[in-house]
Amino acid sequence: MPRYAAFLRGVSPLNAKMPELKDAFEAVGFTEVKTVLSSGNVVFSSRKASESSLQRTAEAAMKERLGQAFLTIVQPIDALQEMLESDPYQAFRLSPAAKRIVTFLRDEPRSKVALPLELEGARLLSLHGKELFSAYVPSPKGPVFMSLIERTFGKELTTRTWDTVAKVARAGA
């Protein structure tokens, strides 16, 4: 049975308990469910289905079991592993202090975006389908990269560090 990762937008330990999130996924028939970290990452098995169908099912389950749904973006574990192996950052000269992040878009952008874009140490580097690869250098101004990403691509997305994506892929393997 295929393995998937669900990346949920806006989850923290303050607004969703991981055991309850796990229960919500299991209640709709997903199996081998595990949460990874406490920031809305869930790995699970399911019969083969489209990512959008799995997203709708997960969101409905959260609404039913938790009383609220979080924007959910589903990726096959195999696709995450391929992405990690390809290392899309190697083509860019990043500062050793740069943090690598991946933003998963709900849908492909309707219009072409000229990349790279840069703002105060945040760089949107490349877009492959619905995955945006960015890097930033932490600064006293806070997460300016999120402002740049949302201004460019909207809010139907969720962002993870490269290390978190690797942990999720390992947990789902």
Binned at pLDDT 50, 70 and 90, residue 135 comes out as: very high
pLDDT tens digits, 63-112:
999 999 999 999 999 999 999 999 999 999 898 889 999 999 999 998 88
Residue 94, SS3?
coil
What would the mean pLDDT of 113-140 be, rounded to a whole number?
A: 91
Residues in the chain, overall count: 173
How far is the CA of 9 from the CAs of 29, 58, 69, 139, 161, in angstroms? 22, 13, 10, 23, 13
pLDDT tens digits, 78-92:
999 999 999 999 999
How far is the CA of 121 from the CAs of 74, 136, 155, 170, in angstroms? 29, 5, 21, 30
How confident is the model at residue 138, as a pLDDT?
84
Asked if residue 142 has pLDDT above 80, the reply is no
Asked if residue 28 has pLDDT above 80, the reply is yes
How confident is the model at residue 149, as a pLDDT?
94
* Token code pair at residue 35: 């949460």
Query: What is the residue extent of each domain of the chain?
Result: 3-79, 86-162
Residue 111 per-residue DSSP state: S
What would the mean pLDDT of 5-28 be, rounded to a whole number?
A: 94
Chain-centroid distance, C-alpha 3: 15
Binned at pLDDT 50, 70 and 90, residue 14 comes out as: confident
Binned at pLDDT 50, 70 and 90, residue 116 comes out as: very high
Binned at pLDDT 50, 70 and 90, residue 40 comes out as: very high
How confident is the model at residue 86, as a pLDDT?
94
Statement: 3-79 belongs to CATH 3.40.50.1970: no
What would the mean pLDDT of 130-152 be, rounded to a whole number?
A: 89
Measured CA to CA, the distance from residue 151 to residue 147 in angstroms comes to 6
Measured CA to CA, the distance from residue 123 to residue 125 in angstroms comes to 6
Asked if residue 115 has pLDDT above 90, the reply is yes
How confident is the model at residue 141, as a pLDDT?
79
